[in-house]
Amino acid sequence: MGGSTGRSSRSSETVSGNNAVAAATRGSKIISITKAKAPPPVAVAASSTLVQPIDWKRRVRSEYFSILHQKRTRRQDEAKVAWKQNRISMSDSLAEEMMKWDKTTNTIWMCCLEVPPHSACMKRATITSWEMPSPQNCPIRVINAVTGTPTMYTWAPIQQNFMVEDETVLHNIPYMGDEVLDQDGTFIEELIKNYDGKVHGERDGDWIDDEVLVDLVKAMSTIEDEEKKKTKDRGRKNLFSNEVARRVKKNEESPEDQLQVIDVSDNEIHTIEEIRKEPEQGMIITTGAEIRTPRNKLPSMTVFKAISENFPDKGSATEIREKFIELYEKLEPSAGLPPECTPNIDGPNAESVPREQTMHSFHTLFCRRCFKYDCFLHRLKAYHPGPKMNRRNGLEFQPNKVCGLDCFLHLDEVKLKQLAQLVIDKDGDASNDARIRKIRKQVSQDSGNEASSEDSNDSTLVSRKSEPCSSGSGKKVKCHDSNGHNEKSSKNERRDSKDSTESIKSKDLTMDFLINSNSNSMMMGPSFMKEFQMDIYQGWSGAEQSLFRALHKVFLTNYCAISQMLMSKTCQEVYFFAQKEAADILLEESLKEFTPPRKKPNKKKNRLWSLHCRKIQLKRDGASNHVYNFTPCDHPGLPCDQNCNCIQAQNFCEKFCLCSSDCQNRFPGCRCKAQCNTKQCPCYLAVRECDPDLCEMCGAHEYDISKINCKNVCVQRGLYKHLLMAPSDVAGWGIFLKEYAQKNEFISEYCGEVITQDEADRRGKVYDKYMCSFLFNLNNDFVVDATRKGNKIRFANHSVSPNCYAKVMMVNGDHRIGIFAKRAIQPGEELFFDYRYGPTEQLKFVGIERETDLL
């Protein structure tokens, strides 16, 4: 502890430990300033005194104890003050409460001591005590019997699976009654072994806590710096003072640094004194900037290694280093928010920011599989396919029709450009209109693969809007002949019906608004426009600018569409702004990115379909009951071959994969006109629910549930039966069907936490001991655990002759467990399914094989 405790003992009582450490680093900075004025001969002399390499481990330890000591002193002082404050405020409120009590209470002691008439035959309680010569007797009044309810631990109801992370440290040792412990003393030991001996509390959490770690690293960093300086200075004594001067200058430039200087000025004298006594301390030159941005200037690995050696349970040197960086950013208020966070892009104070910043939250938090932010199911990064940047359909990106008299297409320069474009275009399609129709047709064909394209959400809505715009009146909404378009929009509505209805409403508003604004600008005439052109940036608020940049990437030169989205700017204004912005998206290039129209798509589809039938056959023949979790594949530039994770896992590629939409490994969906509830349906056969993006004939894509013919969409549409929960006829709680169910009809999805197989093994150990398990194998990678979160079907009991069966289905890229009626079930019947008890493990659920394997 030597030197370092000495330092702390010198710090005044009121200086908190934390500040004292800070003072050592910050204070030294002040010293560096004073030194700059008068270069220190002392320091140079000191540098030659110590040459041997220092024992880092020992230094860390001594530093650690000095920090602890400082903290302790500070804590005790603070605690004393806080304790006093609390006592005062508490006694006030207590006194008030007592006063109130004395005034208002009217409760007097009334006790029925009457001996019941049948007391003679009542059992009596005897209370003995030494003080009393004879024991007291009192008749026991037996109270009314109440039937209790079956045991149930609190669970959170959910209607969708919820992925949770593994717990690698045992949360707490479960208590199962002393009998269990007596009978099976090894159980707890085994349980702890499952967690590699890690139990909460054992891995000591607070004797090197986060704050101490930061302080320790900071202190060590100072020590290291001073060591470095010593060695360096031997060579460059002259350079030293120059550098100090330079750094001081740097400090002066930064206002924040100066603030810090003021901060620690109280300790200045103290630290100077310190320097005099310990000359090497004066050598520390740690500018505020260096400390504030640990990424630039971190203590070397030697320091972290030494810390790691002292505190092996804190992880390796690298882990400690990472932890420090993270903690540092959190603890230092100056660190602030990371720059890439989405700034305020709404309201009058909105900032004008680049597109990347505007879209940051969307790109990082939006789940492209669930179409919502922060979904609970695809939390791992691997499940989130990135946006598909290479393939976009060029539907609305061309300004097609004049949106009004004032349309930017009427501008002379635009007309010239378009003419030039037409000449280059060797398509032969003279009419713009025809070309667009063609593109649209193509869209309808690969709409099923739309989900991962970046703008799939917004574009469909706007495509609806842009069309009426071209007709010049907002009231007539033309319907496209294209199937795909309708389907797409319906898909959208379904996914976010609220939003879409709102947007439809707002669309009407937009139209009115646009008509108004158009007429307005018409009235104002061209002179106004010219004026506007002059300072085009001034008319644009931060929000509009940010929104423009976000939209520009999607709609390119379709300024009519952009202006509609902005709602506050005409397309001419947008056009001029775009010219000013000098957007670097080159029109021609981006157009080339669009996939060329595929030839004879029908044939291809037929080929795919036959291929997939063969595949399914192969899969079934394989007879392996290993079903792996689906993870979207992403191997840019490579086809889905043996290296593709989908193929390796024997999964189909899904619409979320980043492979091409005509990938051979994709499931093409069914073309059933029937109910898709027989093996005739390829989806049913493959234990998949019909995909609304693939299966069009069965109506799986219909928004309105009443229009759906298909019976193979129940899990995704949540078409579960009404269930009632009551004490079971068999054991504990049971679940009862309220309405009638036909054979093979969907009853409910079995929801819960999705955990890894490893985690399930660990949890299962405890559940088995409790004789109560809600684990359910989902696939080879994951298990559904309905213990903490689940839905009512978790109460279905086991039976060897059950009336329900479970089936793991692939539903839009996720495995989900469906419970189906094994026979016709009458209202009021209790539901059972076969848990598949293993003969060896009495109370362990084993996996429910896929239905195909049962057939």
Partner 1 sequence: MSDKNITKRIITEDSADEFDNASSFGSASTTLTNGQTSRSNTPTMFGTTGNTRAGAGGQGSKKTKKKKRLSKMKSTSGKYTMTCMAREDHGQPIFGCQFNNRLKPGEPKILATVGSNRVTIYECSSDGKLKVLQVFADPDTEETFYCCTWTEDGKGKSLLAAAGARGIIRIFSPAEAACVKHFLGHGNAVNDLIIHPSDHNLLLSASKDHSLRLWNILTEYCVAIFGGVEGHRDEVLAADIKITGSHIVSCGMDHSLKVWKLNKPELQKTINLSYTYNQRATRPFPTVKENFPEFSTRDIHRNYVDCTKWHGDFVFSKSCEHNIVCWKAGKTFQTWDEVNFSTTETTIILRLDITDCDIWFMRFSMDIKQNVLALGNVKGKCFVYDLSSTDPNQISHNVLTNQKCNAAIRQTAFSRDGNTLVFVCDDATIWRWDVTNNDTLPEDTS
Q: How far is the CB of 137 from partner 1 (least distance, A)?
A: 8
Residue 622, SS3 per DSSP:
helix
Structure letter (DSSP) for residue 792: G
Binding of partner 1 by 107 (CB under 8 A): yes
Question: For partner 1, which residue of 38, 51, 121, 156 counts as binding (CB under 8 A)?
Answer: 156
Contact of 615 with 668, CB cutoff 8 Å: no
- Does residue 740 come out as left (phi exceeding 0), alpha (psi in the -120 to 50 range) or beta? beta
- In this complex, which beta carbon is closest to partner 1, that of residue 320 or of residue 658? 320
Question: For partner 1, which residue of 33, 42, 163, 188 counts as binding (CB under 8 A)?
Answer: 188
Q: How far is the CB of 154 from partner 1 (least distance, A)?
A: 4
Binding of partner 1 by 727 (CB under 8 A): no
Binding of partner 1 by 13 (CB under 8 A): no
Q: How far is the CB of 418 from partner 1 (least distance, A)?
A: 55
- In this complex, which beta carbon is closest to partner 1, that of residue 150 or of residue 639? 150
Question: For partner 1, which residue of 49, 129, 134, 642 counts as binding (CB under 8 A)?
Answer: 129
Residue 261 structure tokens: 């200087």
Binding of partner 1 by 842 (CB under 8 A): no
Give the side-chain half-sphere CA count within 13 A for 289.
10
- Window contacting partner 1 (CB under 8 A); options: 203-211, 461-469, 564-572, 635-643: 203-211
Residue 286, SS3 per DSSP:
coil
Question: Which positions ≥6 away from 165 have C-beta within 8 Å?
Answer: 379
Binding of partner 1 by 706 (CB under 8 A): no
- In this complex, which beta carbon is closest to partner 1, that of residue 16 or of residue 631? 16
Binding of partner 1 by 173 (CB under 8 A): yes
Q: How far is the CB of 725 from partner 1 (least distance, A)?
A: 12
Question: For partner 1, which residue of 9, 48, 97, 422 counts as binding (CB under 8 A)?
Answer: 97
Of 283-322, which residues contact partner 1 (CB under 8 A)? 312-313
Report the 10 Å Cβ neighbour count for 756. Answer: 16
Tell me, by CB under 8 A, how many residues bind partner 1: 89
Distance CA 665, CA 648 (A): 11
Question: For partner 1, which residue of 41, 109, 523, 839 counts as binding (CB under 8 A)?
Answer: 109
- In this complex, which beta carbon is closest to partner 1, that of residue 12 or of residue 106? 106
Binding of partner 1 by 142 (CB under 8 A): yes
Question: For partner 1, which residue of 12, 126, 238, 642 counts as binding (CB under 8 A)?
Answer: 126
DSSP string, 385-428: ---B-S----SSSS--S--STT-GGGSHHHHHHHHHHHHH-TT-
The CA angle 182-188-191, to the nearest 5 degrees, is: 150
Residue 657, SS3 per DSSP:
coil
Binding of partner 1 by 112 (CB under 8 A): yes
Question: For partner 1, which residue of 14, 151, 431, 840 counts as binding (CB under 8 A)?
Answer: 151
- In this complex, which beta carbon is closest to partner 1, that of residue 79 or of residue 586? 79
Distance CA 641, CA 650 (A): 11
Structure letter (DSSP) for residue 382: G
Residue 721 structure tokens: 């039966």
The CA angle 587-589-593, to the nearest 5 degrees, is: 115
Question: For partner 1, which residue of 6, 55, 83, 231 counts as binding (CB under 8 A)?
Answer: 83
Binding of partner 1 by 45 (CB under 8 A): no
Distance CA 831, CA 736 (A): 6
Binding of partner 1 by 843 (CB under 8 A): no
CA dihedral sign of residues 507, 509, 510, 512: positive
Draw the binding track, 542-581, toward partner 1 (x: CB under 8 A; -: no contact): ----------------------------------------
Single-letter amino acid code for the residue at 82: A
- Window contacting partner 1 (CB under 8 A); options: 82-90, 517-525, 723-731, 802-810: 82-90
Binding of partner 1 by 722 (CB under 8 A): no
Q: How far is the CB of 532 from partner 1 (least distance, A)?
A: 46
- In this complex, which beta carbon is closest to partner 1, that of residue 652 or of residue 795? 795
Distance CA 56, CA 75 (A): 28
Contact of 151 with 176, CB cutoff 8 Å: no
Binding of partner 1 by 229 (CB under 8 A): no
Question: For partner 1, which residue of 14, 49, 134, 154 counts as binding (CB under 8 A)?
Answer: 154
- In this complex, which beta carbon is closest to partner 1, that of residue 102 or of residue 621? 102
DSSP string, 59-80: HHHHHHHHHHHHHHHHHHHHHH
Q: How far is the CB of 83 from partner 1 (least distance, A)?
A: 4
Q: How far is the CB of 792 from partner 1 (least distance, A)?
A: 15
Binding of partner 1 by 326 (CB under 8 A): no
Q: How do beta strands 723-727 and 733-737 pair?
A: antiparallel
Binding of partner 1 by 743 (CB under 8 A): no
Question: For partner 1, which residue of 6, 50, 55, 84 counts as binding (CB under 8 A)?
Answer: 84
Distance CA 75, CA 312 (A): 26
Q: How far is the CB of 341 from partner 1 (least distance, A)?
A: 16
User: Kind and range of the H or E element at 554?
Assistant: helix 542-555
- Window contacting partner 1 (CB under 8 A); options: 119-127, 287-295, 587-595, 719-727: 119-127
- Window contacting partner 1 (CB under 8 A); options: 91-99, 528-536, 820-828, 834-842: 91-99
Of 208-227, which residues contact partner 1 (CB under 8 A)? none
- In this complex, which beta carbon is closest to partner 1, that of residue 91 or of residue 678? 91
Report the 10 Å Cβ neighbour count for 163. Answer: 16
Name the maximum alpha-carbon separation found in the chain.
Answer: 121
The CA–CA distances, whole Å, from 16 to 28, 73, 262 equal: 17, 8, 17
Of 767-826, which residues contact partner 1 (CB under 8 A)? 788-789
- In this complex, which beta carbon is closest to partner 1, that of residue 105 or of residue 706? 105
Binding of partner 1 by 588 (CB under 8 A): no
Binding of partner 1 by 80 (CB under 8 A): yes
Question: For partner 1, which residue of 48, 86, 421, 617 counts as binding (CB under 8 A)?
Answer: 86
Orientation angle between helical segments 301-310 and 56-104, nearest 10 degrees: 60
Question: For partner 1, which residue of 58, 87, 246, 626 counts as binding (CB under 8 A)?
Answer: 87
Report the 10 Å Cβ neighbour count for 202. Answer: 13
Binding of partner 1 by 172 (CB under 8 A): yes
Nearest to 45 by CA among 209, 220, 219, 237: 237
Binding of partner 1 by 186 (CB under 8 A): no
Structure letter (DSSP) for residue 806: E
Phi first, then psi, for residue 356 (nearest 5°) are -60, -40
Question: For partner 1, which residue of 12, 13, 53, 207 counts as binding (CB under 8 A)?
Answer: 207
Q: How far is the CB of 754 from partner 1 (least distance, A)?
A: 15
- In this complex, which beta carbon is closest to partner 1, that of residue 75 or of residue 580? 75
**Which residue pairs from 404-409 have beta carbons closer than 8 angstroms and sit at least 24 positions apart in sequence?**
404/472, 404/514, 404/518, 405/518, 405/522, 406/518, 406/521, 406/522, 406/570, 406/571, 406/572, 407/560, 407/571, 407/572, 408/559, 408/560, 408/571, 408/572, 408/574, 408/575
Question: For partner 1, which residue of 141, 237, 277, 607 counts as binding (CB under 8 A)?
Answer: 141
- In this complex, which beta carbon is closest to partner 1, that of residue 76 or of residue 431? 76
Question: For partner 1, which residue of 58, 200, 372, 580 counts as binding (CB under 8 A)?
Answer: 200
Taking the CA atoms of residue 391, residue 396, residue 399 and residue 400 in that order, the dihedral angle to the nearest 10 degrees is 120
Question: For partner 1, which residue of 205, 639, 727, 828 counts as binding (CB under 8 A)?
Answer: 205
